[in-house]
Structure 1
């Protein structure tokens, strides 16, 4: 007899593991399968931005991520020079540090460097400790879907194939995604941008790093141009360069010599741990969902790696999709809520991938382009914290989109709830618990009654500066989603009960038509308010 579960996740990288943990937070049983025996052994993505660490904070993983990222704490500078030994910080580093200060004021969670091969084991361990069924060494061989569910054939490396049926399937199976391919979903975007090569190596460069701790070090040496990336700040490093025609013919000793040249220390001992050819490209799936199958992470969007944009976008995908699956599975929401996953995430994924594609080549080339002003339109804080869904599981309040040239979401539906400390340890961001939460000002007599009637969690906020920031009068309220996105604001002309029915897709067809006419359409095409 085939076992049936609510959600099957294919892929054990950052996207799949985050989805598994988010579903667990929402009370949904999931099974995760990954064909490889373990998490990635390679550093790959490293920069985890505050929007992502907010997700980990809500998952109860703040301390674990903090410990995992501790070796690279303070490794924030960008250096440039002919060798690592000669590299120095460019003149614009003061401005970059100012951006970091602004970032820390807008979030309760940090901006950290945590390489993928360090972060993924943290996520896997947390999932297993929370009794999520995590099955590494198990391949999804094939699947079929119909109106009732998805049936997958799974093949463990050390056992017989078996079938498992799920209500929904999350495809977190990477850039080449066999699931996306089998669904016949086309890819859009700019396509191929550059062929690159990463060299993962061991060398004790502690003294060099201690003198000038860096995140990235661009090397201008014509013998091996590219960039060093810190992995642990002592003896693990990544060097990214172009994948030139003769690269395949070089043996380890050849690479050792070239790396010594780029380091600028002729007698340093170097041990090459891995060579990773990779393609810099922009490809975005035309659809993020087909039937009961949903694409997250690289399966949905591939982009150049500046600031780990792909990994951070993947984490946001998982947070967006998971609460919607949970609401549909427990009967709180109608199935049409799931249509909003593509409506909301496709424009953001495309805009992020396109913005990342403004800088091309290896990481050194990208740094050079970035330093010359590419990819820096608008305000970084507006891009990071002010992205807005303009349609989807939300009720627009007729104020128009949030600005893109500066950070001022003002509590608009479709934007992240702004951060303010409510006490020494609790942020307004932490109010995004499972289920929808009604957040009101101090004059809450009306809203406490409505919350009880509608089965909503209710929280009163009395921080006047925050109420002013989100344009909430003392007797106002807003509706907060589990992914920290504001779904409704009391300045809207839609009553809360009607808004809730629309957001959760529980209104009758006639009611949906009536509400859509009043508020600009139900789950229409969205555009991301990003520079």
Structure 2
């Protein structure tokens, strides 16, 4: 690709600048890669979608310095440990509880806590951080053509205000352009899964429900009555929020799954009143948004130099809060790999591990979102093909990667995609365990800048080996700080007093040894070359 002053050159072009696109720009920026993101809308989100941040997502945003401001925003907007329950109407009160406390038991597994934060509050924080790290964010524009060449991708970007077009040349492209993803269609990548579940609607409203909900701390309120099924999300003041409507009552009735057919503001107000159940409560409709509840995953997450992330790669109903979270986790997995190839000489084969690692998680996610949708919204349509539920801790921090970027323990031939984090034991392919190493400092806070080595109390030789290998390979490899209780650290990582664990920049264990070999430098050198797809010396 010859130099052309009329062409913008960027290392990574991100198609889509919403939640996942912005997160991708942030994580790339943390690794020293300044990306360009192109977004159709004029700015960040204006509606409070995707309002549940899972543990793993908070851990990732913690690494970007965003956890504290998100905690403040959450405390302003929502109840911190909001319950998830079921009612016929708000006036009739609770019928059943799905989750009594959003954060029950989290201290055992993570330094973070789950949060309810609206997307229209999250995105400005991500935007500011991305720009601070050098990202270029281009709004009111769209990518209208992509053409891959030998060493990169040529993209045509159109200004939606003027119609003017320009060419951008990128080494790699990340498509985070939503569930309808023009990029995915352009690449001819199909989707598979459960298909469309209902034509749903989200009703954004104002209604003073303080009297009905006084003294409660509900995060999500599912509604099930003869008129509709769906769920409420209220802001903390209990005077505004949204109602997502999935069915018009019993889903087996004709037309019940087509909520949006003929729906106008008056019809939306009628549905809202039916969900509130108290005619004395005045309602005002701000907006009605139509959407399709879908559970599908892309057949592949990579096509040459283009990668799918977020809703472009997997589309789920909101039940379980997986959508935006899974997308942010896609971005984090991909960012360090792109940076390793672009800045540290890793082999391009490393990038193939993105599909190998994230697509099985995407498949698991659509199965679990579908399962929660059926159980909570349309139990009449349950059948033997509905997957068994996997608990939230396992879904959030218990999934396991198996790829060329992970060196499994000898004899480990398990194919399980997910397990409970209590049982992970620091195994390769799992998220590194959380252990407090100092007041307020978790092991998870030690990972991110590059590869990190954790060793037991008798593993000083590992430190010397890591220093030698870092100098030899010219890439970031450092020894993580040891805990006040090194035995607790060794137990959590399953390495013993003389062993070591190599943790990737995304906080997942790449490899471990339970003993000190004769030549620890040779062992580390071999592992890093395998993980980073480096050529043999």
Give TM-score, length-normalised by structure 2.
Answer: 0.87
Say which is worse superposed, 79-88 or 223-232, in terms of deviation. 223-232
Q: CA deviation at 1:5?
A: 1.1
Residue 474 of structure 2 aligns with which residue? none
Q: For 2:46 and 2:337, how far apart are their aligned partners in 1? A: 32
- The answer to whether structure 1 residue 343 and structure 2 residue 348 are counterparts is no
Kept in 1, the 8 Å contact 2:53–2:116? The answer is yes
Aligned residue for 1:442? 457
For 1:386-405, list aligned pairs within 5 A. Answer: 386-398=398-410, 400=412, 401=414, 404=419
C-alpha displacement of 1:379: 4.2
| 2:96 match | 90
Q: Match of 2:174?
A: 170
User: Closer, same or farther in 2 for the Cα pair 1:271/1:17, shift >3 Å?
Assistant: same
Equivalent residue number for residue 230 of structure 1? 234
Residue 73 of structure 1 aligns with which residue? 79
Partners of 2:365 and 2:434 lie apart in 1 by: 23
The worse-fitting range, judged by mean Cα deviation, of 412-421 and 249-258 is 249-258
Q: Which moved more, 1:281-290 or 1:245-254?
A: 245-254
Distance 1:85 1:63 in 2: 36
State the 1:256 CA deviation: 2.4
Distance in 2 separating the partners of 1:83 and 1:152 = 50
Aligned position for 1:419:
434
Change (3 A) 1:89 1:149: same
1:506 shift after superposition: 0.3
Could you say what secondary structure the match of 2:426 adopts?
coil
Match of 1:45 in 2: 50
Map Cα deviations across residues 379-410 of structure 1 (whole Å, 9 max, x no partner): 43233222111223111012534783673111
Q: What residue number does 1:319 align with?
A: 332
Given candidates 18, 21, 30, the residue that maps to 2:35 is 30
Alpha-carbon shift at residue 104 of structure 1 (Å): 3.1
Moved more, 23-32 or 434-443: 434-443
What secondary structure is seen at the aligned counterpart in 2 of 1:330?
Answer: helix
Runs of 4 or more consecutive aligned structure 1 residues displaced over 6 Å after TM superposition: 367-370
Separation in structure 2 between the aligned mates of residue 66 and residue 105 of structure 1, nearest angstrom: 19
* Partner of residue 153, structure 1: 156
Which residue matches 2:253?
none
Contact 2:319/2:373 (8 A) holds in 1:
no
Is the counterpart of residue 474 in structure 1 residue 497 in structure 2?
yes
The residue matched to 2:377 in structure 1 has which SS?
A: helix
Q: Distance in 1 between matches of 2:161 and 2:270?
A: 42
Hey, what's the Cα distance between the residues in 2 that align with 1:60 and 1:487?
24
The match for 1:10 is: 15
Cα offset, 1:90, TM superposition: 2.2
Cα distance, 1:147 vs. partner? 1.8
Measure the CA separation in 2 of the matches of 1:138 and 1:247. 29
Q: Does residue 219 in structure 1 map to residue 223 in structure 2?
A: yes
1:516 corresponds in structure 2 to none
Q: Distance in 1 between matches of 2:213 and 2:198?
A: 29
Structure 1 residues 182-223: Cα deviation after superposition (integer angstroms, max 9, x where no partner): 111121222222222221111222343442121222223323
Contact 1:115 1:231 in 2 (8 A): no
Match of residue 382 from structure 1: 394
Structure 2: how far apart are the matches of 1:458 and 1:230? 46
Indicate how the Cα distance of structure 1 residues 366 and 52 shifts in structure 2: closer, same or farther if over 3 A, else same.
farther
SS of the residue corresponding to residue 277 of structure 1 reads strand
Q: For the structure 1 residues 206 and 307, does the alpha-carbon distance in structure 2 shift closer, same or farther, using more than 3 Å as the test? A: same
Partner of 2:295: 282
Whether 2:464 is the aligned partner of 1:461: answer: no
| Counterpart residue number, 2:252 | none
Which has the higher mean CA deviation after the structures are superposed, 121-130 or 10-19? 121-130
1:428 matched residue in structure 2: 443
Counterparts of 2:528 and 2:376, CA distance in 1: 49
* Residue 421 (structure 2) pairs with residue 410 (structure 1): no
Separation in structure 1 between the aligned mates of residue 140 and residue 34 of structure 2, nearest angstrom: 20
Does the aligned pair in 2 maintain the 1:419–1:429 contact within 8 Å? yes
The runs of 5 or more residues in structure 2 that have no matched partner are 249-255, 471-476
Q: 1:89 to 1:26 in 2, by over 3 A?
A: farther
Note if contact 1:379-1:406 (Cα within 8 Å) is conserved in structure 2. no
Displacement, 1:454?
1.0
- In the TM superposition, what is the alpha-carbon distance from 1:108 to its structure 2 partner? 0.8
Could you list the per-position Cα deviations for residues 266-318 of structure 1 after superposition, in whole angstroms to 9, with x for gaps in the alignment?
23222212212221122211110111100001111112211221211111100
Q: Normalised by the size of structure 1, how large is the TM-score?
A: 0.88
Shift, 1:22, TM fit: 0.1
| 1:130 is aligned to 2:133 | yes
Count matched residues. Answer: 502
> Retained in 1: the 8 A contact 2:199–2:259?
no
CA distance in 1: counterparts of 2:155 and 2:186, whole angstroms = 13
How far does residue 471 in structure 1 lie from its aligned partner after superposition? 1.2
Aligned to 1:61: 66
RMSD over equivalenced CA pairs, Å: 2.5
| In the alignment, structure 1 residue 182 sits paired with structure 2 residue 186 | yes
Residues 4-39 of structure 1, C-alpha deviations (whole Å, 9 max, x = no match):
111110111211111000000000010111011122
Question: What secondary structure is seen at the aligned counterpart in 1 of 2:371?
Answer: coil
